[in-house]
Structure 1
Amino acid sequence: MEDLVFVPQADSKTPLYQHLYAHFVRAIRAGRLAPGEKLPSKRRLAEQLKLSVNTVDAAYQMLTAEGYLEAKPRSGFVVQKLERLAPPAAPAKKPCKTSAPVRWRYNFETASIDTGLFPFKTWRRIQRDVLCGQPHLLNHGPRSGDEELRAAIARHLREARAARCEPEQIVVGAGIEYLLGILARLFAGQTFAVEDPGYARTHRILANNGAPVAFVPVDGQGMSARALAASGAHLAYVTPSHQFPTGVTMPVGRRTELLQWAGAAPDRYVIEDDYDSEFRFDGRPIPCMQGLDEAGRVIYISTFSKSVAPAIRIGYMVLPAPLLETYRQRFGFYSCTVSRFEQQTLSRFMDGGWFSRHLARLRAAYRHRRDALVQALDRELAAIPHTVRGSHTGLHLLLEVHAGVSEARLVERAAAESVHLTGLSDYYHGPCCAPPTLVLGYAGLAPEDIDGAVRALGRAWSGLTDGGPGSV
């Protein structure tokens, strides 16, 4: 013990007993103090180090509490055995520096919304009332979600989507990713059919949860029923209201085909992701597929990401009655993953009529933006053969460019003008046989930027039809 020189670190903010404690920890971990070795008494060590007995006692008590020492009656403090830990392995190579995200002048991504349309004043007022008036919300709530929110969602679905559901069928969760993970485990071992093209995130979430995935092609009416039947899948994940990314709305004939497929075997279900259903600009909204289902074969799933905000992280699914008991037995003990304060704020927002008025405001704003984008494309790309598709519903459209150049070249030329585009082929699992097509999301593009963004595309693609330098 005499060779263990204690020199406190020059840190006036750290108490002296913590310096002494750290000194002994380093000595024990390094093996300079052997297991079974007896330490000096508190009074003797205090005299040796010219410290107070209280300082030594505090350090010894910390070491004992953490298991470095054992206090033996009438014997003193004895060093305990510690397993020697292997040093960390040296990295094979230096980690790559993370590059800063590209800042585009114009961005046609599909994931953004216009945050300026969020009802800040109303939401803040409701949330303040919830925070001040309901302290019981600090405790756990119902595991499937608060009753008030599930009732509000059920009313909205019955009125706006012609769904058949009761609040007891609804499970609230923090977004599609969480809910889809639950479904993957609920149907463990069964194959999920997903749309091709479609969201890459969907099949990746399923795969991460151990679910086998079959890619089923999408035609002009949505997921092919014939290809689905040949896939061997037990569940079909579809976006019938506005297929992403093609923009196809599934007609009732195809919907009934999928329902017949599901009803032909006891373990088959259709998962209806009602993506972008709130934003139908031309004609009346089409009722959801779940409303056609009389046999309990449709699992309805949706979020408030586009209608309220992505960061709110509130999604929900409506389980058919035959599945409810199975879900409750296997996952009914899971706590709801959404804050009760957010749940209560949203439920009041819906019950007070603000949600329906907010949706009407969003539709008007995004319809105006859609119209402005289509007009700008026709005006600024008049010299470039193109076709606009899928603009009737949702917050993105497709731009086919018939200029004899590849989709990758179109994206590359746009990037040179600081315009971010995504090609339709990026959403295919297999080869894409469509003409060069760009997916233009416009919800996050400011109205005053639309003309400038399309003019930039016109500059980027100039000369593509006359043998210019960009035509190869």
Structure 2
Amino acid sequence: MIELNPEEKTPLYEQLYAALADEIRSGQRAPGTALPGRRTMAAQQGVSVNTVDTAYQMLAAEGLAEARARSGFYVQKTYGMLHNRTARPRSQEPAVPEPPSPALRYDLSTGSVDTDLFPARSWGRIQKELLYQHPELLQRGEMQGDEALRVEIARYLSAYRGVECTPQQIVVGAGIEYLLGCLAHLFAGGIAAVENPGYSRTRAVLQNNGIRCTLVDIDQDGLSAQALEESGANLCYLTPSHHFPTGVTMPAPRRAQILAWAAARPGRYILEDDYDSEFRFDTRPLPSLQGMAGPDGPVVYLTTFSKSLAPGIRIACMVLPRSLLTRYRRDFAVYANTVGRFEQQTLAAFMAGGYFTRHLARMRLVYKRRMESFAAALRRELPGVTLGSVHSGLHFLLTLPGAGGESAMVEAAAQEGVRLRGLHEYYLARPELCRPDTVVAGYSALKEEDIPAVAAALAQAWVHS
């Protein structure tokens, strides 16, 4: 068993990666042999599956391991051939590979969308017209993104999210991760408070770009201003409109306290990730923190079109306060924009023509109906189930006491061909705070006609097994 020290400043995934890399380089893990399954390794080490997955991905990126579809991660054979002269002798017993995973039938993860809802006809028509009529779009565009798109985004954010900004404050980029990397450069040497539980990729991106992260536990109202003050951070990343993954909406008094924390000392900034506020089915979302703070306030607003259009479109944006804009333009002046101009101009025309707002209205109706149908089916099939945060976002928490616990629930669901994740996996620290028997069920990629079968499969996994 690998010795990991939670008290060290080095993140657990880096500790695990370093230990496995040493074992591979020294020959303790022979070329071609399977690494333990992610859940197996997580259970052995007492860490989250996210931690193991990040370590394994780092090994793969360095060429020490390779990922094989439906099989897992294996020590890279090529690496072993290059370095086998220094490898220590191994037992000749053949490695026993893990059994293949059951076939996936239904995806309840939170990162997928229903591609049938994509407005392919209108999107394709606009893009085709641009392709034939505007060959100048083959040339490099503006560093912050084409002005036509930034104008439309500014109008939309003002009307629907209360964001106060000019098009000049908007930066378009290929995904939130890229934009966070840019922000990490602007905040070099800073310390970021990150929500716990939360999105592990955010912390990984910030840390990979030199920002030290400290985890702050949320409560029933989201991130606490007092806990934030005690963290010693000068940056704060949070999802106030719909906390990921618990679904908590930060109320107005708490938002005011967070803004007061930022205003209390120069150099403090809030990174507001508004990743899916378009999907709220009971009331309109509260205005953004950026709108409360104003265009000169200490808030960087981030949002993405991954949920409203598709993850593969790779269009996200951030709104920089004027205090950061001059430095951003100076430091990134030689950078080319990371989103293709045809995609940018297609989205600009899609928004200007009113297609985007009509598409969102349709999506809300579809997803509301799907949420209500899925929730009703689960309540029928799973006696005693509790569903949390069903009226906002595209996932909810599902709690079912007596089903064997979170890990057993995830594994049993997988055996029935249903992919979902346990809430425990999103606790980057202090997993003992996680509510028991709870999984995260996303329904954005779920076909409405499949809902009865999915609920029946989960009942077979958790009730009738």
- Post-superposition CA distance 1:128-156 (Å, at most 9, x none): 11111111111111110000000000000
User: What does residue range 231-270 of structure 1 map to in structure 2 within 5 Å?
Assistant: 231-270=231-270
Report the TM-score, using the length of structure 2 for normalisation.
Answer: 0.78
| Offset of residue 292 of structure 1 | 0.3
Cα distance between partner residues in 1 of 2:305 and 2:407: 33
| Offset of residue 286 of structure 1 | 2.1
Task: Please tell me whether residue 392 in structure 1 is matched to residue 385 in structure 2.
Answer: no
| Offset of residue 97 of structure 1 | 9.2
Report the TM-score, using the length of structure 1 for normalisation.
Answer: 0.76
1:410 maps to which residue? 409
SS at match of 1:89: helix
1:335 maps to which residue? 336
1:436 maps to which residue? 437
| Offset of residue 450 of structure 1 | 1.1
1:426 maps to which residue? 425
CA contact (8 A) 1:179 1:316 kept: yes
| Offset of residue 415 of structure 1 | 1.9
2:151 maps to which residue? 151
SS at match of 1:210: coil
CA contact (8 A) 1:243 1:275 kept: no
Cα distance between partner residues in 2 of 1:349 and 1:357: 10
Q: What is the one-letter code of the residue matched to 1:308?
A: L
SS at match of 1:157: helix
Indicate the larger mover: 223-232 or 259-268.
223-232
SS at match of 1:194: strand
Cα distance between partner residues in 1 of 2:99 and 2:215: 33
Cα distance between partner residues in 1 of 2:103 and 2:116: 20
Moved over 6 A (4+): 93-101
- Post-superposition CA distance 1:337-381 (Å, at most 9, x none): 000111000000000000000000110110011001110111111
1:89 to 82, 94, 97: 82
Task: Please tell me whether residue 196 in structure 1 is matched to residue 189 in structure 2.
Answer: no
Q: Structure 2: 5+ residue runs without aligned partners?
A: 1-80
User: What does residue range 335-354 of structure 1 map to in structure 2 within 5 Å?
Assistant: 335-354=336-355
| Offset of residue 457 of structure 1 | 1.1
Cα distance between partner residues in 2 of 1:224 and 1:372: 35
- Post-superposition CA distance 1:159-203 (Å, at most 9, x none): 111110100000011000100001111101100111100111100
2:453 maps to which residue? 452
User: What does residue range 305-320 of structure 1 map to in structure 2 within 5 Å?
Assistant: 305-320=306-321
- Post-superposition CA distance 1:299-357 (Å, at most 9, x none): 00011001111101011100001111111111232110000111000000000000000
RMSD (CA atoms): 2.0
| Offset of residue 99 of structure 1 | 9.4
Cα distance between partner residues in 2 of 1:100 and 1:161: 46
CA distance 1:448–1:139, change in 2 (3 Å)? same
Task: Please tell me whether residue 282 in structure 1 is matched to residue 282 in structure 2.
Answer: yes
CA contact (8 A) 2:102 2:415 kept: no
Cα distance between partner residues in 1 of 2:364 and 2:101: 31
2:230 maps to which residue? 230
Cα distance between partner residues in 1 of 2:195 and 2:180: 15
SS at match of 2:459: helix
CA contact (8 A) 2:102 2:414 kept: no
| Offset of residue 102 of structure 1 | 5.7
CA distance 1:164–1:105, change in 2 (3 Å)? same
Cα distance between partner residues in 2 of 1:404 and 1:375: 19
Cα distance between partner residues in 2 of 1:175 and 1:99: 35
Q: What is the one-letter code of the residue matched to 2:421?
A: T
User: What does residue range 159-178 of structure 1 map to in structure 2 within 5 Å?
Assistant: 159-178=159-178
Task: Please tell me whether residue 215 in structure 1 is matched to residue 208 in structure 2.
Answer: no
- Post-superposition CA distance 1:82-107 (Å, at most 9, x none): xxxxxx83445999999987631122
2:140 maps to which residue? 140
CA contact (8 A) 2:403 2:462 kept: no
- Post-superposition CA distance 1:51-89 (Å, at most 9, x none): xxxxxxxxxxxxxxxxxxxxxxxxxxxxxxxxxxxxx83
CA distance 1:428–1:329, change in 2 (3 Å)? same
SS at match of 1:113: coil
| Offset of residue 435 of structure 1 | 2.2
SS at match of 2:414: helix
1:103 maps to which residue? 103
| Offset of residue 432 of structure 1 | 3.6
CA contact (8 A) 2:403 2:463 kept: no
| Offset of residue 461 of structure 1 | 1.4
CA contact (8 A) 1:162 1:287 kept: yes
CA contact (8 A) 2:242 2:249 kept: yes
Q: What is the one-letter code of the residue matched to 2:410?
A: V
Cα distance between partner residues in 1 of 2:101 and 2:179: 29
CA contact (8 A) 1:144 1:332 kept: no
| Offset of residue 416 of structure 1 | 2.1
CA contact (8 A) 2:102 2:417 kept: no
Cα distance between partner residues in 1 of 2:459 and 2:156: 43
CA distance 1:426–1:144, change in 2 (3 Å)? same
SS at match of 2:82: coil
User: What does residue range 106-145 of structure 1 map to in structure 2 within 5 Å?
Assistant: 106-145=106-145
| Offset of residue 444 of structure 1 | 0.4
1:24 maps to which residue? none
Q: What is the one-letter code of the residue matched to 2:385?
A: H
Indicate the larger mover: 448-457 or 259-268.
448-457
Indicate the larger mover: 192-201 or 286-295.
286-295
SS at match of 1:217: strand
Larger Rg: 1
